[in-house]
Structure 1
Amino acid sequence: ELRSSPKQILGGVARRMKKPLIALLGALCLVELLRGKDVNADSPAFIIGIRLSEALSDAFIVLSALLGSLGAFFSGSTTVSNLTFGAVQKAAALNLGLNYEALLAVQGCGGSIGNAVCLSNIIAVSTVIGVENQEGAVMKKVVPIVAAFLVIATVVMLPFLYA
């Protein structure tokens, strides 16, 4: 015997999905704005990638994993981070003569690492273990580990970037 009707269950699911859906739609709108109609020389992502790579030269490689990490930190998703910054990374790689698949791999590693400091994940874990209002303390402990992993991911990928 059901305690709740299917209508009540679906209504509850819809209410819980409302805020994440709004955030996801906002992130996807940002992705589309960055990508433009086509990812080409006229798209904002391409222009950002070219300008950053011109300004930083080979130092852009250091920024690559950090961009992925920041994208995941703000969006809560490696996928959204990759969609947002993937075209930037590709444009920079092509401009610098780097293997763009390898630079995109660095971006993906950074995004995955960035999930460790994603505020929504920290709040979810804190809730599960029963710790309240300790996000800052958790972040202070996790950020140095994330920074170390970003360095490791970048160093490991260096030979592939110049292949």
Structure 2
Amino acid sequence: MHMDYLYFGESYGAANQTAVAVVLDWHKRFGIPAMLLSGNGTHFKCQVMEELPERLGAVHSFVPVYTPWINGTVERVNRYILQVLRVMLLENKPDTRNWAYLLTLIQANMNHGPVLSLGDCAPVELFTGLPAPAALDVVVTPQDKLPRTLPLEKETFCNGLT
């Protein structure tokens, strides 16, 4: 499951309990989502997932079957995650039972790396308003790492998002 907002994501597995945990995790950090959009998997059609949107006051909509373009961003992110995960498993040869721990690294890389369609800003930078740390910031403290002034005009900010 990938939560998508300005390409800022949280990636999880898709078990029944996990689907509920993802929504509650998002809720505790960012507030109640107005709408949940999901695929038609059984993990999204269980009794718990039927009751959760009702209790949160949210609408749960399903993507029609065989329409992957509607969920295109999520599909692309999942493809990227699988590609990077394969490379990490081949290069580092970790115990394959521990592959889930690599998701945190991949997620951090995706959320902190610049995205061309977001004006070369990192999703975490736009989401939080804080400068995105680079991978080497833990080794070398940059002196010129000041917060960027992001455009507040809707036309300037949303140009790359449409």
Q: TM-score range by the shorter chain?
A: under 0.3
TM-score under structure 2 normalisation?
0.27
Instruction: Give the helix-richer structure, 1 or 2.
Output: 1
Q: Which structure has more strand as a fraction of its residues?
A: 2
